[in-house]
């Protein structure tokens, strides 16, 4: 089989005319002898509208019911695209995540793909059908519909490509991967190639072009991933295995995100068991912790700060209330008016001086930072949200991004 997986999302599926355009593009590939598997997202802003509807009923709606609700968005798109393909004379079948054999586990709204029972899709391809699969969704062992979180359609597409041992093309609203989001820094340079490692880091740190788990799957199973504009008229970016030429540039990209909530727990008695208690409770509540900092002990007390997604604020509040029953002296504050700025580059592994340069840029431009974390190929800073645009601009210019 000569299979190609394509994923279409964003505005590319925002209207009936655009869905018809996708159908024509898919048919062109089919004419070349490709067995086509198409993964689609919900139409336009329909997912946002569904969330708004839920929020109009409950400020903190049940996650299981949110999965049931949000999964309907992709089902609209797959059925319409399959209809369009049939109207143009090509046999097609639409499949929900469950029908496509996508099995998941984990907490509702944050499920992970555990396996894909791919035989049904293969059989449809052998019958000459174009298979259209709903991204973002699956089913768990309890028989419940589940979703994979925002960006989960990318994960669906790459996971299917891994099972089908083929390339994956991601078509979206942007014409490739840029060193910096061109919406906030118009002079940003588009990348022809980027390593899996750098793309994973950038995605996990806030770059919205690709979902982190999708790149992880690509890296693990060596799936070539091509990211391009949904019209296919402009050359895009390949996400591929690392090669030595990628170290020529110390910094490959910069990311920024406002989805940051910083929690500070003051007056924690200095005891490793107390620190373990805090993060154990957060882990059991499935809160993904990002940056962590702790002050030096003073009078037997420490202050602990951590960042997490703003979407987890209600869960964090519940955890904090539980902690107050066991850590009687603690005082807790929340800061949501912060942004996280990160610089990423595989060249950092063998070149030094990036941190010093960034600190100097911040100092020269009167930008204060609250926290710093590092990995082998990235450095992240939390700053006041009011300084985000300035920080992106000066860093991008000084680092030639």
Q: CA 35 to CA 26: how far, in whole Å?
A: 10
Q: CA 219 to CA 319: how far, in whole Å?
A: 34
Tokens representing 77? 């798109």
- Tokens 């974390």: give the residue: 373
- Three-state DSSP at 344 gives strand
CATH topology of domain 261-335: Alpha-Beta Plaits (3.30.70)
CB 77 within 8 A of CB 40: yes
Tell me the per-residue pLDDT of 21-39, one tens digit each, with 9 for 90 and over: 999 999 999 999 999 999 9
Tell me the per-residue pLDDT of 91-103, one tens digit each, with 9 for 90 and over: 999 999 999 999 9
Tell me the per-residue pLDDT of 308-351, one tens digit each, with 9 for 90 and over: 999 899 999 999 999 998 888 899 999 999 999 999 988 787 77
pLDDT at 48 over 70: yes
* Confidence at residue 375, expressed as pLDDT on a 0 to 100 scale: 84
CA distances for 73 relative to 9, 40, 96, 164, angstroms: 12, 10, 11, 25
CB 37 within 8 A of CB 70: no
* Confidence at residue 373, expressed as pLDDT on a 0 to 100 scale: 86
* Confidence at residue 183, expressed as pLDDT on a 0 to 100 scale: 84
Confidence of residue 119 (pLDDT cuts 50, 70, 90): very high
Q: CA 272 to CA 322: how far, in whole Å?
A: 18
Q: Closest Cα to residue 202, out of 378, 394, 351? A: 378
Q: Which helix (H) or strand (E) holds 159?
A: helix 152-164
Query: What CATH number has the domain spanning 3-173?
Result: 3.40.1160.10
pTM of this prediction exceeds 0.75: yes
Q: Average model confidence (pLDDT) for the chain?
A: 91
The more confident residue out of 354 and 26 is 26
Residue 244 DSSP symbol: G
| Percentages of the chain per state (helix, strand, coil), in multiples of 5 | 40, 25, 35
Q: Longest C-alpha distance within the chain, in Å?
A: 77
Confidence of residue 245 (pLDDT cuts 50, 70, 90): low
Segment 241-251 shows an average pLDDT of: 68
User: 226-244: string of b/e by CB count within 10 Å (b at 16+)?
Assistant: bbbbbeeeeebbbbbeeee
Q: Which part of the chain has CATH 3.30.70.260?
A: 261-335
pLDDT at 251 over 60: yes
Tell me the per-residue pLDDT of 134-186, one tens digit each, with 9 for 90 and over: 999 999 999 999 999 878 999 999 999 999 999 999 998 888 999 998 888 88
Pairing of strands 35-40, 130-134: parallel
- Tokens 């960006």: give the residue: 151
**Neighbouring-strand partners of residue 335:** 262
Segment 65-79 shows an average pLDDT of: 96
Tell me the per-residue pLDDT of 185-232, one tens digit each, with 9 for 90 and over: 889 899 999 989 999 888 888 777 788 889 999 999 999 999 998 876
* Confidence at residue 209, expressed as pLDDT on a 0 to 100 scale: 77
Q: Which part of the chain has CATH 3.40.1160.10?
A: 3-173
């Amino acid at each position: 089989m000569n299979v190609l997986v394509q994923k279409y999302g964003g505005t590319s599926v925002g209207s009936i005319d655009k869905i018809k355009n996708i159908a024509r593009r898919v048919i062109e590939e089919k004419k070349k002898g490709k067995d086509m598997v198409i993964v689609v997202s919900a139409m336009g802003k329909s997912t946002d509208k569904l969330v708004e509807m839920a929020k109009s009923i409950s400020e903190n709606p049940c996650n299981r019911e949110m999965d049931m609700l949000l999964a309907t968005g992709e089902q609209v798109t797959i059925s319409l695209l399959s209809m369009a393909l049939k109207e143009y004379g090509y046999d097609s079948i639409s499949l929900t995540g469950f029908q496509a054999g996508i099995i998941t586990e984990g907490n509702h709204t944050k499920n992970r793909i555990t396996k894909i029972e791919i035989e049904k899709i293969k059989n449809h391809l052998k019958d000459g059908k174009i298979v259209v699969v709903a991204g973002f969704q699956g089913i768990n062992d309890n028989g419940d519909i589940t979703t994979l979180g925002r960006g989960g359609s990318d994960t669906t597409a790459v996971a299917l490509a891994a099972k089908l041992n083929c390339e994956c093309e991601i078509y979206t609203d942007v014409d490739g991967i840029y060193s910096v989001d061109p919406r906030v820094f118009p002079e940003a340079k588009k990348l022809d190639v980027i390593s899996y490692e750098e793309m994973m880091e950038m995605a996990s740190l806030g770059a919205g072009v690709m979902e982190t788990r999708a790149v992880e799957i690509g890296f693990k199973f060596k799936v070539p991933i091509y990211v391009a504009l949904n019209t296919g008229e402009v050359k895009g970016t390949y996400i591929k295995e690392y090669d030595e030429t990628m170290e020529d540039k110390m910094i490959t990209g910069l990311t920024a995100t406002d989805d940051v909530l910083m929690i500070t727990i003051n007056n924690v008695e200095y005891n490793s068991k107390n620190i373990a208690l805090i993060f154990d409770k957060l882990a059991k509540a499935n809160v993904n912790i990002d940056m962590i900092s702790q002050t030096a002990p003073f009078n037997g007390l420490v202050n602990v700060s951590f960042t997490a997604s703003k979407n987890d604020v209600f869960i964090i509040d519940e955890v904090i209330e539980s902690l107050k029953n066991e850590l009687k002296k603690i005082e807790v504050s929340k800061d949501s008016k912060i942004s996280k700025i990160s610089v990423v580059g595989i060249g950092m592994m063998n070149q030094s001086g990036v941190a010093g340069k960034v600190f100097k840029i911040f100092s020269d431009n009167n930008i204060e930072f609250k926290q710093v974390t590092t990995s082998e190929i990235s450095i992240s800073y939390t700053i006041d949200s009011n300084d985000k645009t300035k920080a992106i601009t000066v860093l991008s210019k000084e680092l030639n991004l």
